[in-house]
Amino acid sequence: MTAKELRGKYLEFFKARGHAVIPSASLVPQNDPTVLFTTAGMQPLVPYLLGEKHPQGKRLVNVQKCLRTNDIDEVGDATHGTFFEMLGNWSLGDYFKKESLSWSYEFLTSPEWLGLDKNRLAVSVFAGDDDAPFDEEAFEIWRSLGISEKRITRLPKENNWWGPAGETGPCGPDSEIFYWTGAPDQVPESFNDDNDLWVEIWNNVFMQYNKNIKGSFEPLAQKNVDTGLGLERALVTLNGYDEIYKIDVIRPIIEKIEEISGKKYDETISEIPLNPPFTKGGNQKAMRIVADHLKASAFLIADGVEPSNTERGYVLRRLIRRAVRYGRQLGIEGIFCFKIARVAIEIYKDIYPELSREENSIEEQLTKEEEKFAKTLESGLKQFENVKIKIKNDSAKSGIISGEIAFNLYQTYGFPVELTKELAKEAGLEVDEEKFKDEMKRHQELSRAGAEQKFKGGLADHSEQTVKYHTAAHLLLAALRQTLGGDVNQRGANITSERLRFDFSHPQKMTPEQIKEVEDLVNEKIKEDLPVACEEMALDEAKAKGATGIFDSKYGERVKVYTIGSPSTGPSTGSGQCSGSAAFSREICGGPHVERTGVLGNFKIVKEESCSAGVRRIKAVLK
């Protein structure tokens, strides 16, 4: 089965059961400061799980692109990857456990759908603790569906509780479905968590709690269902493969790496010569890392991430640099990352059009980062080799690479500390990470002074402030359009509780006068204490009313439109409108927003700079 077939079947199944298909959101969470990346399909839906009304209704289904980097060191084995797609269906206070579990079971086992062997399935349910009781309801549902009691395992919170994705947010007990990947005639009578041949394929979460900043679980007013079925893993299972790198959305990337390197995936190198100083490894591991990391990098860049030394940018940098290092290990010479990313773009462009749209910036960013790192990689590796020999010969050093050395490799040769750790591990050494962090801190102290202070606020305040910035972003876009012209469109936004970063299309640098004009206009609208109104309408209607919105493909048929200034109809930037009654801003947006602009405080643009060709970036704060 191909990825396309599986996505199609899944959406079709849930559409037939009253679910609206919603598009995949960005890998960069839009209004959620609690997480760095979208790691699950439920994440962009947090406001709706907490009770806000979703314009598409109470039953939703989609395919969501996700990135998880917690197991990045495991990538290279048969099963781990950083980028993946998650098939998910949701009930927002609508159906609950019975429908959810029955549908999952039907989709997996019915010959009309996936037709998996019922006898190879096992499930787990939440065993219960002080926060929530044993999930007897799920247990009974599974029994009534015909799963033998021995295959229904009760597991504690560490196994059978999902979320929140960040520190706070919706969560609840879950029920996981496992498939026996061993010999069909050797299915054990009962499920055993330690046996890797039982592979988890689907997770049904009953999101009925909200974990608050104090760490306690408050029951939610609405009982939700959040399910997640990993596409790659399901394809491996359905096709009877022994690794994810055989499925159709990855295989062509591996083949391209074979072509470029002139090496074979299946051929293992037992020992690689010491100069360049690469240690033991295999083509397989290296090719898997290159394939996974560059695919993930292409998706990240398409969603607006650029390599840097902090947060998302740092993760991207690590992915690219690790891919470059393994590419060299495979003997690939010259700039190669984009050649591989291009295959990923080809594979996914129909379902994720942002990849083709951003193809130029994917090429530009990958190549820039690769060139930068390629210059220092070889000398850094030589340096590492010297260090290694010294440490090995000096028993006083007890196999530890000091913080200073790791920092020097980072500072001078651009080695992310994780890369140094990986090299150290291969050489049987360790890195003194604590001291490395101290070194980092010492060097960052000056630039970071005061940053710590600002983080003190705590999460409750955090999100309130974030919502304010979100509304400020709408005012900013409207002010830019009014000042610079209606050609200005939003190209991206990144909001934290501390600042707003806003990218928009505009060919020239803004003049100081224009910056001042925009700033004044936003502040004027804040002073006017305008109401922020939300209406639901068809996408076409929203467009007809002149609503702005960034990525068309992100929206389904019915959308929420936030209007600032006037709840009446009429375009926000049309001519001939009486400025007193026309809306100042009208945007298609999922929210949330403040109720009136008066609470925002003073708006200040702190920076206006170039972001990429034809795109400017503004950084602004509310004081």
Burial of 60 (0-12, 13-18, 19+ CB in 10 A): buried
Instruction: Report the residue number, 142 or 502, with the smaller CB distance to ligand SER.
Output: 142
Instruction: Report the residue number, 42 or 294, with the smaller CB distance to ligand SER.
Output: 42
Q: Which residues bind ligand SER (CB under 6 A)?
A: 40-42, 88, 162, 203, 205, 226-228
Instruction: Report the residue number, 164 or 304, with the smaller CB distance to ligand SER.
Output: 164
- The residue of the chain with the least Cβ separation from ligand SER equals 228
Burial of 542 (0-12, 13-18, 19+ CB in 10 A): buried
Instruction: Report the residue number, 47 or 353, with the smaller CB distance to ligand SER.
Output: 47
Instruction: Report the residue number, 42 or 332, with the smaller CB distance to ligand SER.
Output: 42
Rama region for 570: left / alpha / beta (φ>0; ψ in -120 to 50; rest):
left
CB 218 within 8 A of CB 209: yes
Write the secondary structure of 222-270 as one string of H (helix), E (strand) and C (coil). EEEEEEEEEHHHHHHHHHCCCCHHHCCCCHHHHHHHHHHHCCCCCCCCC
Smallest gap from Cβ 233 to ligand SER, in A, equals: 11
167-177: b (≥16 Cβ within 10 Å) or e = ebbbbbbbbbb
Smallest gap from Cβ 304 to ligand SER, in A, equals: 23
- The pair of structure tokens assigned to 578 is 């009486």
DSSP 335-374: --HHHHHHHHHHHHTTT-THHHHTHHHHHHHHHHHHHHHH
Question: 3-class DSSP state for residue 396?
Answer: helix
Smallest gap from Cβ 13 to ligand SER, in A, equals: 16
Strand partners, 396: none
Instruction: Report the residue number, 84 or 436, with the smaller CB distance to ligand SER.
Output: 84
Smallest gap from Cβ 204 to ligand SER, in A, equals: 7
Question: 3-class DSSP state for residue 148?
Answer: coil
CA distance linking residue 407 with residue 198, whole number of Å: 42
CA distance linking residue 199 with residue 106, whole number of Å: 18
Cβ-based neighbours of 566, under 8 Å, separated by 6 or more: 530, 581, 582, 583, 584
Q: What does DSSP assign to residue 548?
A: B
Burial of 54 (0-12, 13-18, 19+ CB in 10 A): buried
Find where tokens 């759908």 sit: 113
* HSE of 565, CA atoms in CB hemisphere, 13 A: 23
159 phi and psi angles, rounded to 5 deg? -100, -45
Bridge pairing between strands 169-180 and 198-211: antiparallel
- The pair of structure tokens assigned to 35 is 């997480």
CB 260 within 8 A of CB 340: yes
Sign of CA dihedral 444, 448, 449, 452: negative
